[in-house]
């Protein structure tokens, strides 16, 4: 059995996808860098979960709170689930901005969902103040969102590369003489940080490139 990208809590033969704990650690560290002691900002961050029962969500939450435990100046003012819906993300962010006008950062589960948060921040005129970090597949849509200023940083787990890894894993599984379940492999795809300074056509894939 092969799991792709959204791990479950039950391990199977092979997993090809992102290391969600690592993604969470990178995102949390980005928030600490932007909102921590040295930055002089308020230190308030909001968490936009995806689907609360998804394992990737749990791994990321573990990573966030693990990092924030070492940085007491970071204060999590909101932890809500947007369930992959940008409209919900927008509504949640609007409420959080009203409650905490000095919000410093938002960390979200998926870039297509967190575009909603970015839109709410832009509508409130706080694009320079709120740092939005999220993770995504690395598509051109994500890169465009960064260029438009809706998102600040995307941790890309490179979905086309996951596709290649998957094909490789399938071939291995089918050709391997070992019995099912005997060997367990995990392939974590390398992560790329996409920000305004680092995006390039090489990393932002479009559907036409893949055909």
Partner 1 sequence: MLAQLRYRYFPDHLIGEILTKRWIDNAIPFLVLLVAIVVFGILLPGFLTINNLSDLGRQFAEFGLIVLGLTIVMISGGIDLSVASVYTLAVLLSLICVNVEGWPVGLSFLAVMALGVVCGSINGYLIGYLRLRAFLTTLVTLIIFRSIYDIVFLRTSTAIISSLSDSDLWTFIGEGTVLGVPFTLVVTAVIAIAWHIVLSRTRPGWRLTGSAARGARHITRASRCAAQFAQPTSGRQS
The H or E element that residue 57 is part of is helix 55-69
Q: Are strands 153-156 and 2-4 parallel, antiparallel or unpaired?
A: unpaired
Least gap, CB of 17 to partner 1 (angstroms): 18
Scan residues 55-74 and list those touching partner 1 (CB under 8 A). 55, 58, 61
Using CB atoms within 10 A of its CB, is residue 84 exposed (0-12), middle (13-18) or buried (19+)?
middle
Least gap, CB of 53 to partner 1 (angstroms): 5
Q: Could you tell me how many residues of this chain bind partner 1 (CB under 8 A)?
A: 10
Binding segment for partner 1 (CB under 8 A), chosen from 13-21, 50-58, 141-149, 184-192, is 50-58
Scan residues 151-190 and list those touching partner 1 (CB under 8 A). none
Q: Which has the closest alpha carbon to 187: 1, 21, 3?
A: 3
Least gap, CB of 210 to partner 1 (angstroms): 30
Scan residues 7-26 and list those touching partner 1 (CB under 8 A). 9
Instruction: Output 65 or 188, the one with its CB closest to partner 1.
Output: 65
Measured CA to CA, the distance from residue 180 to residue 197 in angstroms comes to 45
Q: Does 52 bind partner 1 (CB under 8 A)?
A: yes
Q: Scanning the structure block, which residue is given the tokens 């936009």?
A: 48
Least gap, CB of 50 to partner 1 (angstroms): 11
Measured CA to CA, the distance from residue 181 to residue 63 in angstroms comes to 29
Measured CA to CA, the distance from residue 66 to residue 61 in angstroms comes to 8
Out of 81, 107, 121, 143, the residue judged to bind partner 1 by CB under 8 A: 81
Instruction: Output 93 or 145, the one with its CB closest to partner 1.
Output: 93
Measured CA to CA, the distance from residue 152 to residue 180 in angstroms comes to 43
Out of 39, 80, 122, 127, the residue judged to bind partner 1 by CB under 8 A: 80
CA angle 85, 198, 156 (to 5 degrees): 40
Instruction: Output 49 or 114, the one with its CB closest to partner 1.
Output: 49
Using CB under 8 A as the criterion, which residues of the chain lie in contact with partner 1 when the complex forms?
A: 9, 49, 52-53, 55, 58, 61, 79-81
């Amino acid at each position: 059995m092969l799991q792709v990208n959204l791990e479950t809590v039950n391990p199977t033969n092979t997993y090809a996808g992102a290391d969600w704990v690592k993604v969470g650690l990178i995102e949390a560290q980005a928030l600490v860098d932007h909102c921590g002691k040295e930055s002089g900002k308020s230190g308030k961050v909001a968490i936009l979960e995806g689907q609360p029962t998804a394992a990737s969500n749990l791994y990321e939450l573990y990573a966030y709170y693990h990092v924030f435990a070492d940085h007491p100046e970071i204060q999590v003012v909101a932890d809500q689930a947007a369930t992959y819906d940008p409209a919900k993300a927008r509504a949640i962010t609007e409420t959080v901005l009203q409650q905490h006008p000095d919000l410093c950062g938002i960390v979200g589960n998926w870039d297509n969902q967190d575009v909603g948060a970015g839109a709410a921040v832009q509508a409130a005129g706080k694009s320079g103040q709120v740092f939005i970090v999220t993770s995504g597949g690395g598509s051109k849509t994500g890169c465009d969102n960064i260029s438009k200023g809706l998102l600040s940083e995307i941790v890309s787990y490179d979905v086309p590369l996951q596709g290649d890894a998957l094909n490789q894993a399938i071939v291995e599984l089918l050709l391997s003489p070992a019995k099912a379940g005997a060997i367990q492999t995990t392939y974590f795809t390398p992560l790329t940080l996409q920000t305004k300074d680092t995006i390039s056509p090489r990393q932002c894939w479009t559907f036409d490139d893949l055909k």
